[in-house]
Structure 1
Amino acid sequence: MTLFRTGCAALALIAATPALAQTPSDADLAALVRAQAAEIAALKSRLDRLENATAVAQASAPVAPVQVAPQAVAQNNEPRRTVPFAPQLAPPGPADRSVAQALAARDNPSGVTTEWGAGLPVFHSADGVYTFKPRGRILTDVSSSFGSKYDGRNITTTGMRALRLGLEGGVGTHFFYQFESDFSENEVDVVTAFVGWRNKIKPGLDYDVRAGHLFNDRGFEGSTGSDSTPFLERTTVATAIIPQRGFYGIGVMPRVFWKTGHASITVTGDRIDGTQTVGDSRTVLGRAHWNPIKSDTGVLHIGAWGFDESLSSVAGTLTRNTVIGGRFNGALRVSSGPLTGGTGTTGYGVELGGYRGPLWVMGEAGRRNARLDGGRPDFVSKAWSVSGGLFLTGDLPPYNPRLGSFGQPKVLKPTFDGGVGAIELTARYESLDYTDLLTGGEGWAATVGVNWYLNSFTRFQVNAIQWDTDNRSGTFTGNDSGQTLSARVGVTF
């Protein structure tokens, strides 16, 4: 400020003297420069004294905490993580979380975040209320059959086991939703589509209720998604002992969960269709599973399920042609022969198995009675299977103790992190019997396979199948046997 006043006074002096303003002398300019230099030196001295005093005061005073805006703190927090139902599983998405997991996401807001679980991220709003996740799966298969006495069965085919795209999410702790469409047959097919509500009954006991187009909770592999099955195709119990409407139906499914198991009941009509001129079929299905032994490295699984189905007037065809040596050889089936006039079906089954360390075993058996009109005897289907696997890399089987099924694995050493992934050897024997009908056939298959999980959402699978069929009707009758070699590459988001 003193320097500013000195400069202004000098300019005023020059302006007041016209002659000087026009042609200042050398002496005048030298005097002005000397005056300004003195003022600058004085100002620098004062600044030095002020800086020294400030430094001494800061050194002797206690350090005050730094105040940081909440948003900055949130951005520096550790990434949000959802704890899985078991350490060998990938974290569940918003629609599959328990009440405790949903509460943890709501009560720990950390700004707008993304949580990388398996494949694609889960997006969280800043307040923890909203969650959203894209979903999808790509399962590409190739299959070659040989050894049959029928040339029509010795074929090589390719196909998309699943080609899905969808989404899931939640609002707050209780409300959730999921939607998926499948394009594997080169047409749009709506599969899972529901809204749901979850809550606690008491500590250690909670429930959820789903309404919409629902996937069956029926048997161990029948309740396992196509992207998580240990073999390329589900067992004969899952594919043959099934409601006439198939794996899906529109309805409601309440489920109850406790620490060692779960139970569900499902009431549905038909799957999604365009027929509204006649009444739907009605299906009531229930299942429960229990883990009487449950530790960090082992589980004993016991399960039972059953369904009853009343068929509509336009759903009376009960003909079955069930896969036995792979999904993508349409000629390789066990056939019931033509069968019409069905009024309803009743089916039931049991499950027993578990795992200890990297080794797992599961046995399933089921029976289905299809009621026929005109006083004819029931069409009885019987199936059973025994399956097992061993992880050579020491990973635990991807058993989901909440649902009593297989899920997406959490690989110990993913290949994308420089590891070997998870390598699993599998084996299965399965049998299917339609011979209670005069036109019904029977068959069995023995499968050995290897699964290589690159990480939690990418896998390669190879199955070698020895199959045997004895059909009494259709194009390929009589006893026949052969081999099928199948492979799959799968990615699940």
Structure 2
Amino acid sequence: MTLLRTGCALIALVVATPALAQTPSADELATLVRAQAAEIAALKARLDRLEGAQQIAAMPAPATPGTVATTSASAPAPVQVAQQTRRPQVTAPFAPQLVPPGPAERDVGRAREANDAGVTTEWGAGLPVFHSADGVYTFKPRGRILTDVSSSFGSRYDDRNITTTGMRALRLGLEGGVGTHFFYQFESDFSENEVDVVTAFIGWRNRIAPGLDYDVRAGHLFNDRAFEGSTGSDSTPFMERSTVSTAIIPQRGFYGLGIMPRLFWKTGHASLTITGDRVDGNQAVSDSRTLLGRVHWNPIKTDRGVLHLGLWGFDESLSSAATTLTRNTVIGGRFNGALRVSSGPLTGGTGTTGYGAELGGYAGPVWIMGEAGRRNARLDGGRPDFVSKAWSLSGGWFITGDLPPYNPRLGSFGQPRVLDPLFEGGPGAIELTARYENLDYTDLLTGGEGWAATVGVNWYLNSFTRIQVNAIHWNTDNRSGAFIGPDDGETVSARVAVTF
């Protein structure tokens, strides 16, 4: 290319020689020199374009969907390029600098800039994960959309026989990390047409010894309590958690603002959480204080099976603004506000203590889990405790042969690994589920009781998209409220869920 540029300059001088022989005036000579300089600059610009085109032609073709394009040896990880196809290049019959680059050239230019910067991207559950060139920074958007419809019938109370729709979750957030130790996560939920901060924390993780890790998280934290209570709303095998998770719970609910250290080993984990109120609590008085701990152990753990044992408990001292302990707990579906088991009015609470146990596991595509819990709510004035009791037994079978989405690190369910996704021509994963659950508030004179039996089917189109259907037969016997006495009926619910 250097020789070509030199030749072009010599040609320009040869062309200019006759004109110089005519002894032009100073003004004509200056004009001629400017014209020749412009021509030489144009020639150089064309050569630069040609060099760029040759470099682009020498680059490897962009990867087709599902392939991985390698980066330089100094890059921390390969770049995974998805949904990108190579467009044919069209050679124009005129000077390249007169025509803007076409779509193919623009795409390759962006790829070159990304490769030069060393930024790598990998596609996971529907959204990309970004890594910096040095591997220090990671970033990933995240969210979930859970859309439900529910219809109840068979009750002797007409006001319970209703059909409703709702967004179980409508979340948007992000997560990331700096280096191998620091990490963070933030999510907001919009499902009630209000902005509600849910998970929001920063954390630090490290290794104590081979097979022994820890992390510490501080911020607005999700409870580590019970098996289904520790499972995210987008990963529960049923459309609503069992009564153990919804009734044997701190007064502040599933979230609290505080700190949670966790310890992980090869066959289990343990956590300890100290929190105050939710992030949107009352700052006019002191927060409630909640101390919560959980441990799980897998005494049997193979590639195709796990035995799960778990224990958990909490104790809370209630704020002066949180002394009302009235409970109205879901029994036959979240989106029927009339279908609840009620404790009746209850005030004067000073604190609560709860505890529970978990026993279950899976073998191949079949899983089973039993849970039980008890909560004692302390009352002022020397009154006896209000005692809540709940238990459940549930199970599932992946008829497509997929393994249950059990997470042995956390002792809970996560997103499944679908063997043959629908979007790749397979059937997806199909799971049949069943559960019996029981709830008892009858320790109070105004307290009710209830039970529910659920059968369901989950169709996982891929690892982050699912369709759920639950059919529930429920029974309640409330002693207070608008629906007193024995009552039973059915609820059929369906959900479309996407997690990314």
Q: 2:294 aligns with which of 263, 282, 287?
A: 287
Partner secondary structure for residue 222 of structure 1: helix
> Structure 1 residue 151 and structure 2 residue 170: aligned?
no
Q: CA deviation at 1:199?
A: 0.4
Counterpart position of 2:305: 298
Alpha-carbon distance between aligned partners in 1 of 2:354 and 2:117, rounded to the nearest angstrom: 49
Counterpart position of 2:167: 160
Partner secondary structure for residue 217 of structure 1: coil
Which amino acid in the other structure matches residue 144 of structure 1? S
Provide Cα deviations, 1:152-201, integer angstroms capped at 9, x if missing partner. 00000000000000000000010000000000000000000000000011
Stretch of structure 1 that moved more, 118-127 or 386-395:
118-127
Q: CA deviation at 1:80?
A: 6.5
Provide Cα deviations, 1:238-269, integer angstroms capped at 9, x if missing partner. 00000000000000000000000000000000
Partner secondary structure for residue 238 of structure 2: coil
CA distance 1:290–1:75, shift in 2 (3 Å): closer
Q: 1:451 aligns with which of 458, 472, 496?
A: 458
Q: CA deviation at 1:275?
A: 2.0
Alpha-carbon distance between aligned partners in 2 of 1:110 and 1:146, rounded to the nearest angstrom: 60
Alpha-carbon distance between aligned partners in 2 of 1:76 and 1:180, rounded to the nearest angstrom: 28
Contact between 2:356 and 2:372, CA under 8 Å: does it hold in 1?
A: yes
Contact between 2:143 and 2:173, CA under 8 Å: does it hold in 1?
A: yes
Stretch of structure 1 that moved more, 113-122 or 395-404:
113-122
Which amino acid in the other structure matches residue 308 of structure 1? D
Partner secondary structure for residue 249 of structure 1: strand
Alpha-carbon distance between aligned partners in 2 of 1:72 and 1:274, rounded to the nearest angstrom: 51
Partner secondary structure for residue 228 of structure 2: coil
Counterpart position of 2:192: 185
Partner secondary structure for residue 460 of structure 1: strand
**1:41-80 → structure 2 map (5 Å cutoff):** 72-73=72-73, 78-79=78-79
Q: 2:224 aligns with which of 209, 217, 225?
A: 217
> Structure 1 residue 395 and structure 2 residue 381: aligned?
no
Which amino acid in the other structure matches residue 341 of structure 1? G
Alpha-carbon distance between aligned partners in 1 of 2:117 and 2:417, rounded to the nearest angstrom: 25
Which amino acid in the other structure matches residue 361 of structure 1? I
Contact between 1:77 and 1:110, CA under 8 Å: does it hold in 2?
A: no
Contact between 2:435 and 2:455, CA under 8 Å: does it hold in 1?
A: yes
Provide Cα deviations, 1:294-349, integer angstroms capped at 9, x if missing partner. 00000000000000000011100000000000000000000000000000000000
**1:227-306 → structure 2 map (5 Å cutoff):** 227-306=234-313
Contact between 1:245 and 1:270, CA under 8 Å: does it hold in 2?
A: yes
Counterpart position of 1:441: 448
Which amino acid in the other structure matches residue 242 of structure 1? I
Counterpart position of 2:146: 139
Alpha-carbon distance between aligned partners in 2 of 1:323 and 1:154, rounded to the nearest angstrom: 15
Q: 1:324 aligns with which of 331, 340, 345?
A: 331
Runs of 4+ in 1 over 3 A off after TM superposition: 70-81
Q: 1:114 aligns with which of 121, 142, 164?
A: 121
Provide Cα deviations, 1:1-21, integer angstroms capped at 9, x if missing partner. 9xx9xxx9xx99xx9xxxxxx
Q: CA deviation at 1:274?
A: 5.0
Contact between 1:135 and 1:167, CA under 8 Å: does it hold in 2?
A: yes
Contact between 1:260 and 1:401, CA under 8 Å: does it hold in 2?
A: yes
Q: 1:338 aligns with which of 335, 345, 356?
A: 345
Counterpart position of 2:416: 409
Alpha-carbon distance between aligned partners in 1 of 2:370 and 2:72, rounded to the nearest angstrom: 54
Q: CA deviation at 1:273?
A: 1.7
Q: 1:124 aligns with which of 124, 127, 131?
A: 131
Alpha-carbon distance between aligned partners in 2 of 1:110 and 1:366, rounded to the nearest angstrom: 54
Q: 2:485 aligns with which of 450, 456, 478?
A: 478
Counterpart position of 1:170: 177
Alpha-carbon distance between aligned partners in 2 of 1:492 and 1:334, rounded to the nearest angstrom: 31
Contact between 2:406 and 2:414, CA under 8 Å: does it hold in 1?
A: yes
> Structure 1 residue 385 and structure 2 residue 428: aligned?
no
TM-score normalised by the chain length of structure 2 = 0.79
Contact between 1:74 and 1:110, CA under 8 Å: does it hold in 2?
A: no
Alpha-carbon distance between aligned partners in 1 of 2:123 and 2:77, rounded to the nearest angstrom: 15
Which amino acid in the other structure matches residue 282 of structure 2? T
Q: CA deviation at 1:470?
A: 0.2
Contact between 2:76 and 2:135, CA under 8 Å: does it hold in 1?
A: no
CA distance 1:277–1:75, shift in 2 (3 Å): closer
Alpha-carbon distance between aligned partners in 1 of 2:140 and 2:464, rounded to the nearest angstrom: 15
Give the CA RMSD over aligned residues: 2.3
Q: CA deviation at 1:73?
A: 4.9
Contact between 1:75 and 1:110, CA under 8 Å: does it hold in 2?
A: no
CA distance 1:77–1:234, shift in 2 (3 Å): closer
Alpha-carbon distance between aligned partners in 2 of 1:320 and 1:164, rounded to the nearest angstrom: 26
Which amino acid in the other structure matches residue 476 of structure 1? F
Contact between 2:78 and 2:120, CA under 8 Å: does it hold in 1?
A: no
Which consecutive unaligned segments of at least 5 residues does structure 2 have?
Answer: 4-9, 22-69, 82-115
Contact between 1:110 and 1:128, CA under 8 Å: does it hold in 2?
A: no
Q: CA deviation at 1:121?
A: 1.1
Alpha-carbon distance between aligned partners in 2 of 1:243 and 1:193, rounded to the nearest angstrom: 19
Counterpart position of 2:425: 418
Contact between 2:71 and 2:78, CA under 8 Å: does it hold in 1?
A: no
Provide Cα deviations, 1:69-93, integer angstroms capped at 9, x if missing partner. x964568974469xxxxxxxxxxxx
Partner secondary structure for residue 276 of structure 1: coil
TM-score normalised by the chain length of structure 1 = 0.80
Q: How many residues align?
A: 407
The one of the two structures with greater contact order (alpha-carbon pairs below 8 A, sep at least 6) is 1
Q: 1:468 aligns with which of 463, 472, 475?
A: 475
Counterpart position of 2:201: 194
Provide Cα deviations, 1:402-455, integer angstroms capped at 9, x if missing partner. 000000111000011111000000000000000000000000000000000000
Which amino acid in the other structure matches residue 224 of structure 2? D
Counterpart position of 1:376: 383
Provide Cα deviations, 1:219-246, integer angstroms capped at 9, x if missing partner. 0000000000000000000000000000
Provide Cα deviations, 1:101-120, integer angstroms capped at 9, x if missing partner. xxxxxxxx993111111121
Contact between 1:142 and 1:486, CA under 8 Å: does it hold in 2?
A: yes
Counterpart position of 1:61: none
Alpha-carbon distance between aligned partners in 2 of 1:127 and 1:387, rounded to the nearest angstrom: 46
